[in-house]
Amino acid sequence: MISFIKNACYKAGLYTRLSEESETNRECATIETQMGLLRRFVADSDDIVVEKEYFDISYSGTNFERPGFKAMAEAARSGGINVIAVKDFSRFGRDYLEVGRYLEFIFPVMQVRFISVNDNYDSNNQAGATGGMGMAMKNLIYSMYSRDMAKKVRTAQHTRVKNGEFIASFAPYGYRKDPEDLHKLLVDTEVAWVVQKIFHMAADGTKVSEIARCLNENGSTNKVFVPQGKRREFPMYL
């Protein structure tokens, strides 16, 4: 995507990332804010044009198997882009060892220029180094922050569960989320009898396959597949 013509020798892949702890309704705006910063940086440069934009939403910086990241890396390997620009090192990744591996070994071998705008880092100006002790400390701090944040998220979720709060995205069959408090479950009175029947049949020693067959024969229209190589009909609530 080239919005204007200039004497450019670098084709840039702009990369943005939003971590999994971000609020869903803020994600797009935050991605757009990051991308806007990168577009302005490229617009002010004399030798770079935007070739493609990449992004990942709800992926941790310690995970380098992100789809947008992998697509960008493949473009760099194939020569489709020769510059990667990010807002800061933490958007690229929060594992300081893996970030260092890319900056010290992978990108130099692929002859890819790496730019971190807010860190004032440009690999073309580093004479083969990754920015010295300052950059190393930043990457280490990002890695420590990510581990601390993950621990805090797990602790918060564990506390919610201990307090009886429901934290999953979808209510299990037979229940529905309380519209006034999404962390509470209410009995779904329309299908409660089905759940009760399942439990009664199971308590009587009926096999799961027989329970499913019985429910299907009694008019269930919700069918799923089971991973046994054959198509079998099971109600969604099983």
Question: Given its phi and psi angles, is residue 162 left (phi above 0), alpha (psi -120 to 50 degrees) or beta?
Answer: alpha
**If residue 145 lies in a helix (H) or strand (E), which one and from where to where?**
helix 132-162
Name the residue with higher pLDDT: 116 or 157: 116
Q: Would you state the pLDDT for residue 36? A: 92
* Percent above pLDDT 70 for the chain: 72
Domains of the chain: 10-152 (3.40.50.1390), 166-238 (no CATH)
- Closest by CA to 45, choosing from 83, 1, 102, is 83
What is the predicted pLDDT for the residue at 225? Answer: 33
Q: Residue 98, Cβ neighbours under 10 Å: how many?
A: 18
What's the pLDDT score for residue 133? Answer: 47
User: How confident is the model at residue 23, as a pLDDT?
Assistant: 44
Convert the pLDDT of each residue in 112-144 to its tens digit. 999 999 888 898 887 545 554 455 555 556 556
Residue 236: burial class (beta carbons within 10 Å; 0-12, 13-18, 19+) = exposed
- Rounded CA gap, 114 and 128, in Å? 12
What pLDDT is attached to residue 42? 95
Is pLDDT above 90 for 12?
Answer: yes
pLDDT exceeding 90 applies to what percent of the chain? 30
Listed range (73-82, 110-119, 123-132, 187-196) with the worst mean pLDDT: 123-132
pTM: 0.54
Assess whether pLDDT exceeds 60 at residue 4. Answer: no
Q: Token match 């009175």: residue?
A: 189
For residue 226, give Cα distances in angstroms to 204, 221, 229, 236. Answer: 24, 16, 8, 11
